Amino acid sequence: MDIGTEVDAGTEVVVVGGGAAGLSLAWRLLAPPDGVPVPRVTLVEAPPGPLRPPERTWCFWEAGPGPYDSFLAASWDGLRVRGPAGSGPVRSLGGLRYKMLRSGEFERGLRPRLSALRRVEAVVEEVADGPDGAVVSCRAADGTVSRLAARWVFDSRPPAAAPPARTALLQHFRGWFVRTERPVFAPDVVELMDFRTPQPAHGLSFGYVLPTGPCEALVEYTEFGRAPLTTAAYDRALARYTGDVLGLGPFQVLETEQGVIPMSDGRHPREAGRHVFRVGAAGGAVRPSTGYAFAAIQRQARAVADAVHGGRRPVPPPAYSSRALAMDSVLLRGLDTGRIDGPAFFTRLFARVPCERLLRFLDGATGPAEEFAIGLRTPVPAMLRTAAEVPLLPRRPRPGPHQEARRGSDPSCRTSCRTRPAGPRSSPPRRPRG
């Protein structure tokens, strides 16, 4: 028998989920312009346990100082993409910086303002839209059921099933946070894609290095493909990359991360009702061709908060233009068919296009003229053939649940799932416990 089923109507906005999207939106809602009252906001997040995401790492780029700079783990103004032979110059990001943010520091940094909201630890079982608002039914760890009535509900939970798509790939990865015995990393340069890794039969693979000091870095092995690997297979790939390619020498693995990010041209509806909206990855914030989402989450959060403060219906805006999504569909199909050589494609693109312009393109912030110029730096015949084919392909439902980063982490702009520390070693760590 359910306990406590009365309706609580003491809130204006309910935000479901305490990840990047939910926290960012709540934080902005609680800072209205002068003269506008602070809305009553309730944040519903899962109780501690398997449904609550563990520590995650998000990366993004932006121009100049940003609102979260004081929380950053690191930032860089140089970037490199290495081809299979190891070549690739360091490119300046111009007016941009590539930034690394860890979820624990993010939440601690937002905490002073978020202290004004009401938090409910419970699992949401139903969100019911109505003529004048919506009701969120949720169950606490002790079995107590509560119903929260609100004018607006913003749901960041992933959908139960992935949306129908023409192409559905996965960006899957595992990383080690390492500390070396000697200085081996260039602290001011991100190795965004290092293609000195054995390429799989289908898709592509690369190394990804985020140095936080001369002796410390996050080193990842990443693949774009149709299915993730086993943990043992990732560790073998990482051992080869850190040893044979990077030549790190002895090092200590401090923590690990492992994740899966959907790369699909499926369309995520942002409206689930008159008063219910989807935000974050659930609202299409993950860029299909890259897996990045944090910057799009911030754009959506700003627009939604501005609408709530202005008394307008707060429909989240599209995370990316229809033109950008169409180009993503072509790239995903080209990679999936093998028509486009992934390492050659990305290496040539970063070599021939100014880095700042290319990153703005990847963020959906370029215009048609810039995009046409970038398109001329791609394998034009393969892209044109694929572009002609894509509109004829049906969107098919994908069996099984919507793929998210493993162990509950949300797929935000390089998302990670961090586990307990490991001991000193230069060979693959054992599978972490817990």
Q: Give yes or no for a contact between 150 and 133, defined as CB atoms under 8 angstroms apart.
A: yes
Alpha carbon distance 359, 115 (integer Å) = 35
Q: What was the pLDDT predicted at 428?
A: 36
Q: Which of 431, 409, 344, 414 is nearest to 61 (CA)?
A: 414
CA distances from 407 to 52, 56, 73, 247 (A): 9, 11, 22, 30
Alpha carbon distance 315, 312 (integer Å) = 9
pLDDT in tens, the chain (434 residues): 344 444 566 789 999 999 999 999 999 999 999 999 999 999 999 988 777 777 889 999 999 899 999 999 999 999 999 999 998 999 999 999 999 999 999 999 999 999 999 999 999 999 999 999 999 999 999 999 999 999 999 999 988 888 999 999 999 999 999 999 999 999 999 999 999 999 998 899 999 999 999 999 999 999 999 999 999 999 999 999 999 999 999 999 999 999 999 999 999 999 999 999 999 999 999 999 999 999 999 999 999 999 999 999 999 999 999 999 999 999 999 999 999 999 999 999 999 999 999 999 998 889 999 999 999 999 999 999 999 999 999 999 875 444 443 323 333 344 433 333 333 343 333 323 23
| Model confidence, pTM | 0.88
Residues 6+ apart with CB under 8 A from 196: 82, 84, 85, 86, 207, 241, 245
Q: Give yes or no for a contact between 252 and 424, defined as CB atoms under 8 angstroms apart.
A: yes
Q: What was the pLDDT predicted at 159?
A: 82
DSSP 21-61: HHHHHHHHHTSPPTTSPPPPEEEEEPPSSTTS----EEEEE
Q: What was the pLDDT predicted at 9?
A: 63
Three-state DSSP class for residue 379? coil
Q: What totals of helices (H) and strands (E) does the chain contain, helices first?
A: 9, 19
